[in-house]
Amino acid sequence: MSFIINYVKKYKIRALLAPLFKMLEAIFELLVPLVMASIINKGIGSSDTHYIIRMSGVLLLLAVVGLVFSITAQYYSAFVAVHSSAAIRKDLFAKILGLSQGTKEKIGEEVLTTRITNDINQIQNGINMVLRLFLRSPFIVAGATIMAFIVDIKSALIFLLLVTVLSLIVYFIMKYTLPRYKAIAARLEKVLSATSENLEGVRVLRAFCQVDEERESFNIKTDSLVQMQLHTGKISALLNPVTYVVVNLGIVFLIYISANRVNSGHILQGDVVALVNYMGQILVELIKLANLIVLLMKAFPSADRVCEIMEMKSDERVHGACSLVGKGSDLVGDIKLSNVSFSYNGSSEYDLEDISLDIPAGSVLGVIGGTGAGKSTLIKLLNHTYDCTEGAITIDGINVQNYSDRQLSDLFGIVPQKASLFSGTVASNMRMKDVSASDEVIKSALNIAQASDFIEEKGGLEAEVMAKGANFSGGQRQRLTIARALVPKPKILVLDDSASALDLGTEGRLKKAIAHLPWKPTVIIVSQRASSVLEADQIIVLEDGKCVGLGTHEQLLSSCEEYEEIYYCQYPREEAIGE
């Protein structure tokens, strides 16, 4: 709760004015039954038309002033709720971006998506309704009870009994449903996870004829969520009818007792009307309060889940205190790995083990191996996505831990395995790292990446790019991501299986263009295709996270069985290059 209060405090004046105006509205509302009782007792009882007209004007004035206060209160409460939730969403988004890759993978993409959308919406609704009703409704209930005692003490005893019974009902229903709303949120995340997984892997499911099995599995998860929602919803839904029944029974007893009091001359007929009106006000406010409690039972778990992410300590990488300010232009991209080992999430089994490697500045390194050999993991260690478990990686003699993320981002140009483009234009995607890049620089990068032809056909640099590059083919997306990495002219260029969707002719032209880059970056090519690394200055062969071969293409063919197997699987001996 303190987590939300810290954001609401930023708008504390409005947050205080909202309930204040609501309470002023409530005061005017509590005066209405007394005015009505006065009209009945004095005006109608004595046939005083002028008194009736005058008091009717008072009722109209109370209504208008109350309306103004109500609108003002709702404006302030909505303002605080919207701006507070927006601030929470911004901070949560920044927190998510700041989490390490390992932490994000551990939490899950669907969980983070739920936190920043549904959970924050629940918090926004909760803040809004609390400011509007949390003080007003109890104030009306208490005020109506006090006013009833002013009218007639004996009749008002029913109010005390009524409020006590309703408070117990609300308490027990809240106690039962609150933990179940938390369980519903957890099951909803499982459904979202299954949805995301199936949408991304729909082609695989169809290829292996697993659509029916996944549909059945999804239905089981959904049915489990539905059953819990229905069960919890039925209990929560009891609040309104039970409240109506109890209050209406209270009104019946109130009229019975008040009628006897009128007959005995202790109170007047207008007082009975006032008491019934106060009972009606209690009914309305208790229903509002019950709905508010249901809303809060959804908002509190949401706030806890958002707070959990905000306070989460990421398995952050170590950053040294060494200052590299002013050294950017002196860096050349000389890389050295010394006995590097790494395991995900602290596992005792290494995903990379005892890797030692020198990559001279301006040279080309090929990284090859089967699926799961550790190729992409090696790249993540080089650009400090993860910390080494053992050993050290240096760039130009400086440990990668002593570079800031910004310095590493300026140093590296990385083309990931999965080509990722953002909605906008070709130019906006190309300028992601260098916003000041000229059109000439972008066109040059597109030309090197063999992307100029199809970009011109689509309308040039201002051609539209749909979300995730959906209006481009797989090979076109790969070439665009290569061009994007080339625009800022990085000292180290990493191509992580980035030519898998290219034909051999296009790949050959791409390799030739990269080999003749004027700024001579250090190039690291990660691939499962031997053709991609044949001409590299040195090739490292990985298998199960271990280096099983290091050398040139010719050296590995004669000394590394694993490389030989990969090569001849792709090139039959009679067609093998260089044979």
CB 330 within 8 A of CB 28: no
Query: How large is the average pLDDT for residues 61-85?
Result: 92
Does residue 51 form part of some domain? yes
Q: Identify the band that residue 578 occupies on the pLDDT scale cut at 50, 70 and 90.
A: very low
Q: Check whether residue 62 and residue 153 sit in a common domain.
A: yes
The one-character DSSP state at 467 is: G
Give the tens place of pLDDT for each residue, 219-255: 888 888 888 888 888 887 787 788 778 878 888 888 8
pLDDT in tens, 409-466: 888 998 888 888 889 999 999 998 888 889 999 999 999 999 998 998 888 899 999 8
Q: Are residues 447 and 355 in the same domain?
A: yes
Q: Is residue 322 part of a domain?
A: no
Domain boundary among 245, 274, 308: 308
* Domain annotation covers residue 229: yes
Partner residues linked to 425 by β-bridges: 464
pLDDT score recorded for residue 550:
92
Residues 280, 371 within the same domain: no
Clarify whether residues 420 and 282 are in a common domain. no
Q: Do 183 and 278 have their domain in common?
A: yes
Pair 155, 148: CB distance under 8 Å: yes
34/137 same-domain check: yes
What's the pLDDT band for 95 if we cut at 50, 70, 90?
confident
Q: What is the dihedral of CA 237, 243, 245, 251, to 10 degrees?
A: -160
56 within domain boundaries = yes
Residue 467 domain boundaries: 329-570
pLDDT of residue 392: 92
pLDDT of residue 320: 57
- pLDDT at residue 331 is higher than 60: yes
Overall domain count for the chain: 2
Q: Name the helix (H) or strand (E) containing 525.
A: strand 522-527
Contacts of 356 (CB under 8 A, 6+ apart): 337, 338, 339, 340, 391, 547
Among 168, 166, 171, which Cα is nearest to 279's?
Answer: 166
Pair (388, 450) in one structural domain: yes
The whole-angstrom distance between residue 335's C-alpha and the CA centroid of its chain comes to 36
8: in domain: yes
Choice among 251-265, 377-391, 406-420 with the minimum mean pLDDT: 251-265
In a domain, 431, yes or no: yes
Strand-pair partners of 522 = 492
Whether residue 355 is found in the same domain as residue 292 = no
**Domain identity same for 243 and 354:** no
Bridge partners of 441?
none
CATH number at residue 145: 1.20.1560.10
pLDDT given for residue 115 in this prediction: 86
Q: Which two tokens stand for residue 2?
A: 């303190």
| CATH number of the domain bearing residue 406 | 3.40.50.300
Query: Is 321 inside a domain boundary?
Result: no
Residues 150 and 196 in one domain: yes
Tell which of 308, 343, 361 closes a domain.
308
Q: Are 427 and 520 in the same domain?
A: yes
Same domain, residue pair 384 and 493? yes
At residue 114, the pLDDT reads 81
Residue 320 lies in a domain: no
CA nearest 295: which of 133, 403, 503?
A: 133
Q: Which residue has the tokens 């990068």?
A: 445
At residue 327, the pLDDT reads 52
Of 273, 308, 343, which closes a domain?
308
